[in-house]
Chain A
Amino acid sequence: MSAAVTAPAAGAPAASRGILLLLLLPGLVALVVTFLLPLLWLFRASFASSAVGTLSGGDWTSEAYTTVLFDPFYWRVAWNTLVLGFNVAVFAVILSYPIALFLARTQSRFRGVLTALAVAPLLTSSVVRTYGWMVIFGDRGVINSTLQALSLTDGVIRLTNNSLGATVALIEILMPYAILAMLSGFGRLNVQLEEAAAMLGANRLRVFTRIVLPLSLPGVLTAALLVFVLAISSFVTPRLMGGGRVFVLGTEVFNEATVTLNWPLAAALSVMLLVLFSSIILLYQRALRALEV
């Protein structure tokens, strides 16, 4: 009797697990083929010999890695990349926070429209938006020609073709991601808590610093991480806005792959970027978890 009862009970989870696996299978296969295999291939390519133009195969050598690790230039490039990512993340989050907060709390019936507007720039390619910034920031662009027309400046103020231009353009380009990430992370915000604090005598600044900010922090940190990761892996914007003066890992990978044809070195730099990513994400998740407890 009891066996008859337990048998289907034990069978049910097994069957559902089987169905679950079956459902996951197409996704897993796609992931392995489109993501894991190329990654393994990249890893293998980074250990190939640079002397021959082969993509993979041949003897294993760590030549590319020794080149990268013992060359101070690449350390500086890695440092540039981190600084760029950090600046972009901080400013994108600061600028996006009020927008996201407003969108999260507004009672307006246009809320949906406003949210769509805030993330609408994502519909345009970042290349197009980078060109937009080049028009605005160029030596004869909107800002410089306006300043000169108003006789506020004599010469040209160099706004683009340097890291300033690359940073500003990246901030704007990545802001929609920050807004989206914060919106989804603001779930714990609760107007009643703020009302309670206000009733207990807290002024608006105090309500913000003691209630709103701490509750929105997970969303803020997620947004910062997302923007940081997107910024350090960016290539088009630093290349176009940097005027060749901004050396980051993305641009170096491109140069080694297409100009000097040192594919193992390009692969090694990519792996380095990947390691940088993963370790930062791991550390960050630890920090986030500590924060939630």
Chain B
Amino acid sequence: MTIRMQNGISRMFLRAGILAAGLAAFAGAAQAQDASIKGTVNVVGFSGVFADNYQKFIIAAFKEKYPGIEVTYQQSKNSAETLALLTLQQADPKIDVALIDVSVAIKANKSGIFAKLDPAKVPSLAEMPDWSRLDGDKAVAFSQDNLAILYNTDSVKQPPTSWNDLTDAKYKGRIAAKLGDTRGVILLPILDKLKGADYKDTVDPAIDMLKEIAPNVSTWEPAPDCYAVVQSGEVDLSICWNGRAQYLHDTQGGKIAVAAPKEGSIGQTNTIGLVENSKNAEAAQLFINYALGTEAQATFAEKSFYGPVNTKVTLPDAVAARIYGSKEAQAAQMSLDWNFVAEKYSAWIQRINREVIALN
């Protein structure tokens, strides 16, 4: 009885809703809703805070614009897992859109995981810089999260201002640095530039500097992660990503803060790609177009402190400062030739592991 009543009521609401939607559509393009396009977009991407923010600020906003399209979000522990999933499904993909690390995307493109985006269907592409459009628009960079120095606000009264501070003897045994992955691969070009070298020629100066930092490092494998060890006071400094630290600073009492070095930094670059043979390519490209658009990029930058890639996005000063640091640091912000770096990725990690970590 009650169930039937609820059904009746919900049907009533549904009718009212349809009516309202109709009215809204009638009211004009102010809402810019488009329910005529139907379909499902299955997205796989990063987990944790990223997933929360992405669903809240990108996917929800997209669904509001296109009520006829259902978007699912599947969390993946890391890009390697995503690549494994996509590789296994290559013959019959269940995923339409993947958010994946740039170096992994380049690897994925070698085995034809991603499809070329159609510029007619993804007009936002015109606003994307050349470096972001990988392998002829098979995967496009959509956000950059800077590598930064994170510090414990209780124990570090004078936050570091430069990458050089990492070698300061007062931090002996007080730094957490997980460098055997993308963090290390990004740090090498930064330190190289600090020493006046170019990462395309050699990373020897950077490796030498890492050897100077090594005595200060307490753990190369912070557990549970590079943020928690700072918050708990187990270490004073941590070399890790800006976005998550900014978020934790705001939400968990400010024990952790970011010191963006004045020499500038480089962002860990995330890409979005349309999976080859996707059964929902139309709706998926609509979604990618939205995700690359100025509105989504600006919102995501503001809410999660990930730097936007779309060239038409201008950030308020306060937001830019929290993503890139001071004006000086902003001017010194670097970007990498990811195709070059992807080639060197394993070799650089091997050098860090063998020449720096294993010997210290």
Contact = CB atoms under 8 A, between A and B. Distances in A.
Nearest to B174: A139
A243 B78 contact: no
A51 interface: yes
A131 B357 CA distance: 22
Nearest to B346: A260
A146 interface: no
Interface string A116-145: 000000000000000100100011100000
B111 A53 contact: yes
Contact of A255 (B180, B233, B358, B360): B180
Contact of A161 (B78, B108, B111, B219): B219
B165 interface: no
B110 A260 contact: no
Interface residues of A, number: 28
Interface string A55-69: 100000000000000
Interface in A76-114: none
B223 interface: yes
Contact of A242 (B107, B110, B221, B233): B221
B358 A247 contact: yes
A134 B229 CA distance: 12
A244 B360 CA distance: 10
A134 B104 contact: no
B104 to A, nearest CB: 7
Given A258-B78, A260-B349, A53 B181 contact: no
Contacts of B111: 52-54
A261 interface: yes
A138 B181 contact: no
Contact of B110 (A51, A244, A245): A51
Given A73-B354, A161-B218, A261-B80, A240 B223 contact: yes
Contacts of A140: 233-234
B88 A55 contact: yes
A259 B181 contact: yes
Contacts of A257: 80
Interface of B: 78, 80-81, 83-84, 87-88, 104, 107-108, 110-111, 113, 173, 178, 180-181, 218-221, 223, 233-234, 345-346, 349-350, 353-354, 357-358, 360
